[in-house]
Structures are given as structure tokens and as C-alpha cells.
Amino acid sequence: MDTATIITFFIYILGMLVLGIIGYRMTHNLSDYFLGGRKLGPGVAALSAGASDMSSWLILGLPGAIYLAGFGEAWIAVGLTLGAYLNWQFVAKRLRVYTEVSNNAITLPDFLENRFRDNSRLLRSASAAVILIFFTVYVASGLVGGAVLFSSTFGYDYMVALLIGGAVIIVYTFLGGFIAVSWTDFIQGTLMFLALIVLPIVTITELGGWNETVNIIGDLTGGDHLHMVQGVGMLAIISSLAWGLGYFGQPHILARFMAIRSHKDVPTARFIGMTWMVFSILGAIFVGIAGLAYIATDAVQSELAERGMETVEENGLLMLANEEAVFIAMTQLLTHPVVAGILLAAILAAIMSTVDSQLLVSSSAVAEDFYKGFFRKQASNKELIWVARISVVVIALIALVIASDDTSRVLDLVANAWAGFGASFGPIILLSLFWKRLSRNGALAGIIVGAVTVLTWEYIDPFGGLYEMVPGFLLSTIVAIVVSLVGSGPKQEVQDEFDKAREIANT
């Protein structure tokens, strides 16, 4: 690894830590810590929603999947883009307004409890438990991403890489909280965008243009990797598109909607957010496809060996041992050492942005929902911030244990956590915002059925490979509606509040 790359890389990380410390000094209360006091402008809200959402999946997972199997994997990207758009279009504004009207709720469990006037704490506990389970898996995926980065860049052993990456992320989240996180997410979002646009262009130019790149891939794979429709099964397409359903229930993304300055900023944020996402995703797809052609060339293979990157032979084709390192490998092979340092920092930045926001939402579940809810009803704000910070460390340690298996892949871990949230919260958030008749019991049943379906689907799947999101989302929706219709309707004050939120959101 070049010295210039290392210096650039570490300057970047140091900068992020400084921002974390500034964030720490600006944190006065819990709402500041979690939502930045609902003061985010549209640009920051959009890019931080994007960066906290995508990250290691976008830079490692998606290019890795395309590198391994070709354009057929791009259906996930299509499903996600459509889902993100619908989420911005229908959920963002209404949720921003409703959470404020509903006794200024600052977390998802808070909102559900206030929305249904639930005094039993059942709804709060169920949703906080879902948050804890699936975010721990999610955080593990980010830590795997960090480990892939440190091991392929610096040649560290997987476990050493995992511990270094984990330590950097935890220290940063521990200090900062949401103000630092949203601002640094904005920086990461910009860097990721630039990296994903520049790298495939450089690679395709290096290979002699787009037609030449296509011919090389065709020769290497017999043309299989070039098709998105032909040879791709319907079940695979449905499963991939179903990723889009997940958006409606991701607490870390919904938290960005809740933190936006005004609901009137949503259209601007949506436009910025969708433009960022579409170009980044297309960039990631082309990183994977161009990487396949580039890495298979003989000259590159020997350079990879010199840099100590592991390769394997699959069907007569030499490929990276860990397909998810394709972006990292190309960054080092193709760019100036200083640029490589910045781009590699962008990857770590992306991973940090997701893991820290997920750690924050999980820690808020522990502090607000379990600690304050059950043990210390009179806990002060200062005490809660400290409980949240300690929870960050504990959750991260559990995630480290999950990530310590070096055959883990970012994509697999993300798929499970994404489905968990999408199926348990997605239908309930949509129904809460748009269906007045939804009852507390309906919401509770929907959350539990969604989570249980995702956790057990792997063992009962009669279709052999249908993504757990599909049955989870459907069953949760059906159960929530049926249970609500069977019981008595919501109280008048709940209905009045629903109408008030709808009225404000429509102005």
C-alpha cells in the first residue's frame, strides 16, 4: 500500500473523529442526540437518509453481486429505487408531521405508542425488541464491510481488521450522536457519489470503451452476465424487487424523515435524495460489471498477487476470492494513490455512516423504551444519554461476535435485517399513516407476525428461495387489518389526531 494512500486515508478518519467531538459538545438533550433537534435542511436530510441506508451494501454488496452473477442481480437495485421513491413520496411528509403532532415522538416505538395511546407498553416493547434484534444483525453487516476493507487494503488478518474497523466506528458514534452523524453522513454521501461515478468511467475507458468491455465480459462468461431478463427466473425477479418493500419500515431511514426541518422541505429532499441514489446505484452496478472484465485480464492478475489479494478460479475464470472486495481492488489498481486514499476513506465513511446511525437507533430503543419505560421512569436526560452511549458499546460487541465468522457476506446479513424491519414495521407504518381504523392490537399483531415470519421463513419456505420479505410483509399486513377490523374502533382523540396530521401534511 502506498504511503500517500495511507496518509490520506488516516487524515480523513481523523477529520470524522473531530466532527464527532464537535457533535458531542453540541449535544444538549435527548432530542438533539437522536434527531439533531429536527433542524436538518433538505440536502443534509436527503443525503444522510441515502448514506445511512446504502453504504456497505452499495459499495461492497451490490458491486460484488453484479461482479459474481452479472446484470441479473440488478433487479434488487430496481426494486430498491422504486421503494425509496414511494417512501419519500408517501411516508416522509406524513411521518414528519404525525410524529410531531403525536406528542413530539422522537423514535419509532415512541410514535407507535403515542399514535395508539397505548398505556400497556406492549407496543413499545415489541417494536424495541424488533429494533434490537435486527439492528444487531445489520450492524454486524457493517462490521463485516469494515473488515473486508481493512483486510484487503492493509493485508490484515480478518479478525484484526474487524477489531480495528469496529473500534473506529464505536468511538465515533459514542462521542457524537445525531448532529455529528447527520453532517458526516452528508460528507460520506457526497464522497460515495463521486467514487461510484468516477471509478466505472475510468475502468471502461481503460478497457477501450463500452463495446470492448461488453465483448470481454461476453467472452469470459459466454454472454450469461450480460442479461437482465433472459435466463433469470421469475421467483428471483420477484424476490429482488421485493427489497423495495423494505423501505417503509427501516427505523434509521425513517428517523431522517422525522428530523427534517419542515415537511415543506420534503419535495426538495426527495429530488436530491433520488438523484443521488439513482446515479450511485447505476455507478455501483457498472463498477461490478466493469470490474469483472478488468480483473480477469492477465496483467491485473499478477498485480493483484503482488498486492496480496486472494483470487480463486471459478469455471475457468480467475476471480477475487471475496467478490465484495471488487470496488476496493479496482480503486487500488486504477487510481492515483492519493485518490485511492480518498476513495477507500469513502468506503469506510459509508460503512461508518450506516453503522453509527443503526447503533444510535438501537441505543435509543434501550434508553427510551426499556430503561426509561420499565426501570427508571424519572430518569434525567443526562442519565438517558449515558445509558444510550453504553448501549452503543454493548450492541456493537454482540455484532462483533456475529461478524467474526470470516465467511460472512455483507449482502446476506443485510438481506435478513432489511426483511426483518420491512416486514414488521413497513405495513404498520403505512397503515398508521393512512388508515384511521388501525388499532393498537392490529399494529401489535402485525409487528410480531412480520418479525416471526422473517425469522422462520428460511425453514418453511415451500417455494425454495423466495425472499422472506414477501411472505413477511403480506402476512403482517393481512393480520394487522383483520385484527383491527375484529376489535372495536380507535378512540375519538386518536381519530382527531389522525385528521389533524393529515390536514397539516396536506398544506
Partner 1 sequence: MEEYSITFGTYFWLFVPMLLVVVLSGISWVKERDKS
Q: How far is the CB of 108 from partner 1 (least distance, A)?
A: 24
Asked if 491 touches partner 1 (CB under 8 A), the answer is no
Phi and psi of 320, rounded to 5°?
-65, 140
Q: How far is the CB of 314 from partner 1 (least distance, A)?
A: 20
Asked if 227 touches partner 1 (CB under 8 A), the answer is yes
How far, in Å, CA of 108 to CA of 130, rounded?
Answer: 11
Q: How far is the CB of 43 from partner 1 (least distance, A)?
A: 12
The partner residues of 318 in beta bridges, in order of sequence, read 313
Please choose, out of 182-190, 212-220, 335-343, 494-502, the segment that lies near partner 1 by the rule CB under 8 A. 212-220
**Nearer to partner 1 by C-beta: 214 or 379?**
214
How far, in Å, CA of 418 to CA of 141, rounded?
Answer: 11
Secondary structure (H, E, C), 139-165? HHHHHHHHHHHHHHHHCCCHHHHHHHH
Please choose, out of 20-28, 67-75, 171-179, 475-483, the segment that lies near partner 1 by the rule CB under 8 A. 67-75
How far, in Å, CA of 231 to CA of 234, rounded?
Answer: 10
**Nearer to partner 1 by C-beta: 24 or 85?**
85
How far, in Å, CA of 479 to CA of 320, rounded?
Answer: 45
**Nearer to partner 1 by C-beta: 229 or 234?**
229
Nearest one of 314, 299, 310 to 220, comparing CA atoms: 314
Asked if 196 touches partner 1 (CB under 8 A), the answer is no
**Nearer to partner 1 by C-beta: 275 or 381?**
275
Pick from 144, 195, 199, 217: which binds partner 1 (CB under 8 A)?
217
Read off the C-alpha cell for 489. 374502533
Binding residues for partner 1 restricted to 385-424, rule: CB under 8 A: none
Q: How far is the CB of 18 from partner 1 (least distance, A)?
A: 34
Asked if 234 touches partner 1 (CB under 8 A), the answer is no
**Nearer to partner 1 by C-beta: 4 or 274?**
274
Asked if 219 touches partner 1 (CB under 8 A), the answer is yes
Helices (H), 207-233: 210-221
Pick from 223, 307, 406, 436: which binds partner 1 (CB under 8 A)?
223
**Nearer to partner 1 by C-beta: 41 or 218?**
218
Binding residues for partner 1 restricted to 77-116, rule: CB under 8 A: 77-78, 81-82, 84-85, 88-89
Helix (H, G, I), strand (E, B) or coil at 269: helix
**Nearer to partner 1 by C-beta: 75 or 371?**
75
Neighbours of 11 (CB within 10 A): 12
Binding residues for partner 1 restricted to 242-281, rule: CB under 8 A: 264, 267-268, 270-271, 273-275, 278, 281
Pair 413, 134: CB distance under 8 Å: no
Q: How far is the CB of 40 from partner 1 (least distance, A)?
A: 17
**Nearer to partner 1 by C-beta: 35 or 84?**
84
Pair 70, 227: CB distance under 8 Å: yes
How far, in Å, CA of 319 to CA of 312, rounded?
Answer: 5
Asked if 43 touches partner 1 (CB under 8 A), the answer is no
How far, in Å, CA of 454 to CA of 424, rounded?
Answer: 9
Asked if 215 touches partner 1 (CB under 8 A), the answer is yes
Considering just the CA atoms, what is the radius of gyration of the chain in Å? 22
How far, in Å, CA of 456 to CA of 200, rounded?
Answer: 39
How far, in Å, CA of 347 to CA of 399, rounded?
Answer: 19
Read off the C-alpha cell for 7. 496518509
Q: How far is the CB of 46 from partner 1 (least distance, A)?
A: 10
- Torsional sign, CA 195, 198, 203, 206: negative
Residues that bind partner 1 (CB under 8 A): 71, 74-75, 77-78, 81-82, 84-85, 88-89, 214-219, 223, 226-230, 264, 267-268, 270-271, 273-275, 278, 281-282, 285
